[in-house]
Structure 1
């Protein structure tokens, strides 16, 4: 029987922290859905490129102005967060239900890896979408945040899979 101590405790805390973070992010996006839609819309509409000082770029033709697409992408972001949280909560439940046994550890790893994979997919998707809409021109803090999420996801996934 494995114990919930040492590296297992750290794995549990990392997965629990990311599960709660993803859940709270999803709740926050729902509570301020209009704000989330506007935030996504500003990136997709490339509004900041046209604020003073204006950056002349031919990339502006990538702009997506339709509010339908802004709303759809905000909903996708919410779904990413809630599905990630659900997968990670299932991994925590497997440990709570069967203890940190060999079977519980296997279930924990399976579900935690699904959750981490989706978290990484979301982080890369945010980065790729941002690059498409040239957010690096005026929103470099957001770009750095997305890179930090990617690094955190890779680090957490590596930690979770340590023996």
Structure 2
């Protein structure tokens, strides 16, 4: 196998893995939609601030207790996940096509960059939304996860854009 082919294989495996992982996340989020609404609603209502020791802060004025808003926000997140998963699937197929010699490698990289830009944007949407409700105070694990998603997207972007000989 040439260096060019092995690099295309690596890119294909990376994109396929991300596409598969996010597709599983989408299936899980659709299957357990009510649980996801509850989880997002808990964050938006800032319920953990009321647990002992209670935290009193002016940021509590941002509480959103409406289940309708919780459902809408969670639905938006799931839609973003679906779009990004589809972009990743398309990019993975384009990369596979390039690996097999049926598609242009440069075009495949362009599709991958679009998908990874969506992946990073998805992480940023979650990060900014969580920050609005100060989730880093009692849900720091969620914030770390969102930073990790952004880092993963950026690292994947670096790998995807390694020049092929």
Scaled by the length of structure 2, what TM-score is found? 0.90
Distance 1:157 1:56, change over 3 A: same
Structure 1 gap ranges (5+): none
The CA deviation at 1:73 is 1.1
Aligned to 1:72: 72
Matched, 1:118 2:107: no
Aligned to 1:161: 161
Aligned to 2:138: 138
Scaled by the length of structure 1, what TM-score is found? 0.91
The CA deviation at 1:48 is 0.6
Q: Deviations over 1:104-138 (max 9, x none)?
A: 31231121111101110010111111110000110
The CA deviation at 1:145 is 0.8
- The answer as to whether partners of 1:91 and 1:108 remain within 8 angstroms in 2 is yes
Aligned to 1:129: 129
Separation of aligned partners in 1, 2:13 and 2:98 = 17
Q: RMSD over aligned Cα, in angstroms?
A: 1.8
The CA deviation at 1:76 is 1.2
Q: Deviations over 1:63-113 (max 9, x none)?
A: 111111111111111111111111111122224446554943123112111
Separation of aligned partners in 2, 1:25 and 1:61 = 32
Distance 1:4 1:28, change over 3 A: farther
Q: Which moved more, 1:105-114 or 1:127-136?
A: 105-114
Runs of 4+ in 1 over 6 A off after TM superposition: none
The CA deviation at 1:14 is 1.0
Count of residue pairs brought into register by the alignment:
162
Separation of aligned partners in 2, 1:159 and 1:40 = 33
